[in-house]
Amino acid sequence: MNSKIVVSLDIGSAFVRCIVCEYDDNGVLQIIGSGIRPSTGLRKGVVVNIEATLRAVAGAIEDAEMMSGLEVTCCWAGIGGNHINGINSRGVVGVSGKRKDTKEREISQDDINRVIEIAKAVVIPTDREIIEVIPQNFKVDDQKGIRNPLDMIGVRLECDVHIITCTVTGMQNLIKCVNRAGFRINELILQTLAAGRAVLTQDEMDLGVVLIDLGGGTTDVLVYVEGTPYSTYTIPAGGAQVTSDISIIKNISMDNAERIKIDAGCCWNELLDDDETVIVPGIGGRPPMSIPRSQILTIIRPRMEEIFKMVKQHLDTLNIPRPLGGGVVLTGGGADLTGVVELANNILKLTARIGSPIPTQNLGGLVEEYRKPSFATVIGLALEGEKRSGIDAAEYDSEPRQVDRKSNVIDKLKLWLREEFF
């Protein structure tokens, strides 16, 4: 049986998730294994503890290996957090190609590549590196809004691009964690770009939509205008700050605060019943207390309001050519919080919905477990990785390798030694 596997790795501030996908006989990717481990080595999307991060990465991938029965050597990894920045730029070139037997100039792929290269030739600080250059639209002479100018006739070609950069150290530390865990990264992909691939429809992107990824350490925002990314923005606050607020105000541990947030958290008053209560664990041998659930709401709502107000402030600074008809799509672990859609709708004045991975013709095996906002990024990374690999499953003739624990450990040790000392 022809086979090819695609492995995606989402390294977040709260959890590290990995999924293993394999092509079936019909050439459709199927999710056949997954792993998830708590993440303690990142803060606001940036690696602050390499050892803790590589343990979480190794554990998540090994769990996915055990479930799938296949050996993983490389993966498509996501990058995000407070060190990500996006800018827009424009490039202009003269069309160089000439048609035979005529003076007309025909746009070639070389012209397209040149105009994109010129568009991304912007001045960026030496401590930052470009990770994504996304063409938004092209202009041929006076004709605007062209998606693909290949083979068109013209003299002047312009291109608007969205450039996403990250800090060099942030990128290198992430790559080092994965390498030291014994694996190789095919390519780093922006996490919000991957999440959008998994949860957004083409109609929403064409109309203009705001994707808000409510993560543990940060809230990442990606704005689509006319089908392409227009603005990338990160807010240095997320679900971890909500948990911390509950822990501080109620004098309970972070673990208990997280459990209360998940089980009883709410940020919209109308969704609460007056008689609902929450059990708050006691500390130091003290007995647990029963408090109204509305008290937890008074802790959670101000923090969530602050996050959405910061999103609105950013949107108000953008010179968007048309209203965002696609509204707001909320994804990430924070999107599971009760009342978050109503609060976002109220503050942003846009229709909002929860963004869960959409079953597509390109990815099967999407059981209910993975149709959650928290899995949007890792599933989107698999879809984007398949697209960027450019290998047709029907042409891939390598048999899947079963996991050999002994050889697997030796291979990972060799890779680590090469990365560290050679």
* Tens of pLDDT, residues 202-217: 999 999 999 999 999 8
pLDDT at 302: 96
Q: Is residue 269 part of a domain?
A: yes
Residue 257 lies in domain:
202-357
Q: Among residues 148, 167, 186, which one ends one of the domains?
A: 167
Query: Is pLDDT above 90 for 401?
Result: no
> 218 and 324 in one domain?
yes
pLDDT at 29: 83
Rounded Cα gap, residues 188 and 180, in angstroms: 16
Q: Is residue 181 part of a domain?
A: no
pLDDT at 311: 96
> 159 and 215 in one domain?
no
Of 37-41, 265-269, 389-393, where does mean pLDDT reach its minimum?
389-393
> What are the φ/ψ torsions at residue 379 (nearest 5 degrees)?
-75, -40
pLDDT digits (tens, 9 = 90+) for 120-172: 999 999 999 999 999 999 999 989 889 899 889 889 999 999 999 999 999 99
Percent of the chain exceeding pLDDT 70 equals 89
> For the residues 3-27, what does the mean pLDDT come to?
88
Of 45-59, 83-97, 181-195, 277-291, where does mean pLDDT reach its minimum?
277-291
**Confidence band of 413 (pLDDT split at 50, 70, 90):** low
CB burial of residue 351 (10 Å; 0-12, 13-18, 19+): middle
> 304 and 246 in one domain?
yes
pLDDT at 331: 96
> For the residues 54-62, what does the mean pLDDT come to?
95
**Confidence band of 322 (pLDDT split at 50, 70, 90):** confident
pLDDT at 274: 74
Of 62-71, 109-118, 265-274, 302-311, where does mean pLDDT reach its minimum?
265-274
> 330 and 260 in one domain?
yes
In the chain, the number of structural domains is 2
Q: Among residues 357, 380, 402, which one ends one of the domains?
A: 357
> 208 and 151 in one domain?
no
> 224 and 158 in one domain?
no
Contact (Cβ atoms closer than 8 angstroms) between residue 300 and residue 337: yes
Write 269-272 long-range contacts (CB < 8 A, 24+). Answer: 269/294, 269/297, 269/301, 270/342, 271/338, 271/339, 271/342, 272/297
pLDDT at 60: 96
> For the residues 95-110, what does the mean pLDDT come to?
76
Of 73-87, 134-148, 278-292, 312-326, where does mean pLDDT reach its minimum?
278-292
For the domain that residue 242 is a member of, what is the CATH number?
Answer: 3.30.420.40
Rounded Cα gap, residues 85 and 239, in angstroms: 21
SS3 356: coil
**Better-predicted residue by pLDDT, 125 or 275:** 125
Rounded Cα gap, residues 335 and 315, in angstroms: 20
Rounded Cα gap, residues 17 and 342, in angstroms: 28
> 230 and 101 in one domain?
no
For the domain that residue 153 is a member of, what is the CATH number?
Answer: 3.30.1490.110
Rounded Cα gap, residues 218 and 11, in angstroms: 13
Q: Is residue 114 part of a domain?
A: yes
180 membership: H or E segment, kind and range: helix 168-180
**Confidence band of 407 (pLDDT split at 50, 70, 90):** very low
pLDDT at 361: 55
Query: Is pLDDT above 70 for 299?
Result: yes
Query: Is pLDDT above 50 for 24?
Result: yes
Query: Is pLDDT above 60 for 422?
Result: no
**Confidence band of 88 (pLDDT split at 50, 70, 90):** very high
What is residue 191's DSSP assignment? Answer: H
pLDDT at 363: 73
* Beta bridge mates, 11: 16
> For the residues 367-385, what does the mean pLDDT come to?
89
Q: Among residues 338, 357, 376, which one ends one of the domains?
A: 357
> 222 and 347 in one domain?
yes
> 317 and 254 in one domain?
yes
Q: Is residue 61 part of a domain?
A: no
**Confidence band of 366 (pLDDT split at 50, 70, 90):** low
**Confidence band of 396 (pLDDT split at 50, 70, 90):** very low
pLDDT at 414: 52
AA letter at 307: I
**Confidence band of 260 (pLDDT split at 50, 70, 90):** very high
